[in-house]
Amino acid sequence: ISIRRMPDPIDAALQGIYRAVRGVPSPAFKDAALAALRAQLPFDAAGWGTFAITPQGAQVHSVHLVDLPMAMMADYEAVKQHDTLSARALARPGTTRNVSLRTTRWPLHPDMVAHVRRWGLDHSLGTVSIDTGLQLCNAISLYRGDAQPPFTPAQRLLKQRLMPHLVEAWNLNALMFCDRPSDGPARRHLALVD
């Protein structure tokens, strides 16, 4: 008798994420990790940003977008002060926020609503993770357009449980990439910079 167990979405996503740690060069890691997540938690687009909290506000280190143009970020600069999802996610690090324009009870500024609709960000799951040792924040948001169903409570929990793994896997991948010998005769020098 053959017993086939349906793979748990967390296990399946983690396998894909940790395979990417070993097998994908750092510049392509976030795409590979988010693809592993997307296989278990469908989304239309995503953003992964890293930033530091300074007395002057958030200092962005990097922004990585999946299926969104960088022009979206340029437009975001004009409305970011109205971004209640980011503010709420930052207020409760580690907790994934599930927001849909269809059902939200949060007050949303009309300019933010227009931005969300323009770029197809109608349904979102947003999580902020803070590495207190490095004083570095990671924010990962998944998006679906209005034609898609909102994210479910189970999907919110799945994203929340996978968030620390995504961040740690990214850190491991970067370290492994730095430790690999360089290709060719050129010498490589590495530095960690704050």
Rounded mean pLDDT, 88-102: 90
**23 and 33 in contact (C-beta within 8 Å)?**
no
pLDDT tens column, 100-127 = 988 888 788 999 999 999 999 999 999 9
- Integer Cα distance of 148 and 150 in angstroms: 7
Whole-prediction pTM = 0.88
Model confidence pLDDT, tens digit, residues 132-176 = 877 789 999 999 999 999 999 999 999 999 999 999 999 999 888
**Long-range contact list for 20-23, CB < 8 A, 24+ apart?**
20/169, 20/173, 21/169, 21/172, 21/173, 21/176, 22/176
Query: Where are the strands (E) in 67-122, listed by range?
Result: 97-100
